[in-house]
Amino acid sequence: MSTTLTPASIQKKTNRIGLEVLNYKGSKTTLCAGCGHNSISERIVECFYEMGIDPWRIAKVSGIGCSSKSPAYFLGQSHGFNGVHGRMPSIATGAILANRNLIGLGVTGDGDTASIGIGQFMHLLRRNVPMIYIIENNGVYGLTKGQFSATADIGSTLKSGAPNELPPFDCCALALQWGATFVARSFSGDKRQLQTILKTAIAHKGLSVIDVISPCVTFNDHQGSTKSYSYVQDHDEALHDLEFVPHYSEIAVEIPEGELHEVDLHDGSRLRIRKFDRFYDPTNRMAALTALEGAEAKGEVLTGVLYLNTSKPSLLEVLNLVDGPLSTLPQDLVRPPATVLSQVMEELT
């Protein structure tokens, strides 16, 4: 039996602003097949498409590494800047201050963030720069052939069998301690959890740090590694079940009392948190730090929303920045009049 294509059946699926998923894609990946970073790129495409965000409102920024190459593989119609190794935070801060309407999307690696870029990362945290900061964490410098990074766990081994002897930085613990207002950990292999966390970050108007364990199949996916697919699958301890309810959703679902904890997000969306065996309060920063310490001691990978604070002002509010891009401000607002300039000159003589 032959099927004829009707106009309806060939009609392309579009999101709420009329764009197809193709408008959110980038070039074809050149990363290794099976690299966790590729799955994260796919989630980024899906989330921005599903949430109906204009691609040209997004500024994607990165440093150096396989992870930092990945912005080429998503959001081909967005603004983009591939910076120097570890220096992405200052580029992102400048871009967002210059145009507060942009959605900053930083994609970086554990080497880029926790080794050469640690100083820049700390200042991004203390400033609560409103942007999404994704760490594609594989515990190694993938691009330079798999040396341990500063997030590698003690005792985790290289392919050669050599163990790591230095203690790791936990980027989520640093983010919690130094000022990020949304902190989450996920796994590149957990499609549903990562999607929900990414959508929450898009809705949040403060600094969102998402540490995604993203295995490097070429250099760090063997037995003995604590960042391999099998290790993370076996040791993943999800804190809760998450559901993202977008602000434009019209679906009203009855929630059984006591079952769910709901958090209102800045753009009117909501995050629904369903507890597993114990209640975890993501608004309690100290509890988050304690939970991370406990998980580290047991060799567990704690995933989910560790912390969410929607009341702390972002850098834009602290600076009382004008609405709109600085480049659109009229001359009379940005340039002191001649009388003021001559007064300054007089004071200097």
Ligand X SMILES: Cc1ncc(C[n+]2csc(CCOP(=O)(O)OP(=O)(O)O)c2C)c(N)n1
Binding site residues, ligand X, CB under 6 A? 64-67, 85, 109-112, 116, 136, 138, 140-144, 149
CB count in 10 Å sphere of residue 337: 9
Pick the closer one to ligand SF4 by CB: 208 or 218. Answer: 218
Q: How many CA atoms lie within 13 A of 308 on its CB side?
A: 23
CB 112 → ligand SF4: shortest distance, Å? 12
Question: According to the binding rule CB under 6 A, does residue 142 interact with ligand SF4?
Answer: yes
- Tell me which residue has tokens 């039996």: 1
Instruction: Kindly compute the dihedral angle of the four CA atoms of residues 47, 49, 54, 60, in this order, to the nearest 10 degrees.
Output: 50
Site string for ligand SF4, 204-233 (x = CB under 6 A): ------------xxxx--------------
> Residue 305 touches which of ligand X, Mg ion, ligand SF4, none (CB < 5 to 8 A by kind)?
none
Q: Which of residues 9-38 bind ligand SF4 (CB under 6 A)?
A: 31-32, 35, 37
Pick the closer one to ligand X by CB: 215 or 246. Answer: 215
DSSP for 85-131, written as a single string: TT-HHHHHHHHHHH-TTSEEEEEEEHHIIIIITHHHHHHHHHHT-SE
CB 197 → ligand X: shortest distance, Å? 19
CB 144 → Mg ion: shortest distance, Å? 10
Which two three-digit tokens encode residue 153?
């766990």
CB 23 → ligand SF4: shortest distance, Å? 25
Question: According to the binding rule CB under 6 A, does residue 58 interact with ligand SF4?
Answer: no
> Residue 112 touches which of ligand SF4, Mg ion, ligand X, none (CB < 5 to 8 A by kind)?
ligand X
Q: Please give the Cα distance from 349 to 74 (Å, whole number).
A: 56
> Residue 218 touches which of Mg ion, ligand SF4, ligand X, none (CB < 5 to 8 A by kind)?
ligand SF4
- Which are the contacts of 45, defined by CB distance < 8 A and separation ≥ 6? 21, 24, 25, 26, 74, 75
> Residue 64 touches which of Mg ion, ligand X, ligand SF4, none (CB < 5 to 8 A by kind)?
ligand X
Which two three-digit tokens encode residue 337?
């009049």
- Tell me which residue has tokens 């910076």: 83
CB 56 → ligand X: shortest distance, Å? 27
CB 212 → ligand SF4: shortest distance, Å? 12
- Tell me which residue has tokens 């959605």: 103
CB 116 → ligand X: shortest distance, Å? 6
Q: Could you give the C-alpha distances from 133 to 59, 60, 77, 197, 247, in angstroms and in order?
A: 12, 10, 19, 12, 22
> Residue 187 touches which of ligand SF4, ligand X, Mg ion, none (CB < 5 to 8 A by kind)?
none
Pick the closer one to ligand X by CB: 119 or 268. Answer: 119
CB 138 → Mg ion: shortest distance, Å? 4
Helix residue ranges, H only, the chain: 7-10, 36-51, 66-69, 88-98, 110-111, 118-127, 171-178, 191-203, 229-235, 285-298, 315-318, 331-334, 338-348
Instruction: Please pick, from the candidates 41, 138, 226, 314, the single residue that binds ligand SF4 as defined by CB under 6 A.
Output: 138
In sequence order, the β-bridge partners of residue 264 are: 270
Name the site residues for Mg ion (rule: CB under 5 A). Answer: 109-111, 138, 142
Handedness of CA 278, 284, 288, 289 (dihedral sign): negative
Pick the closer one to ligand X by CB: 227 or 272. Answer: 227
Which amino acid, one-letter code, is at 17?
Answer: I
Q: State the residues that interact with ligand SF4 by CB under 6 A.
A: 31-32, 35, 37, 66, 138, 142-143, 216-219
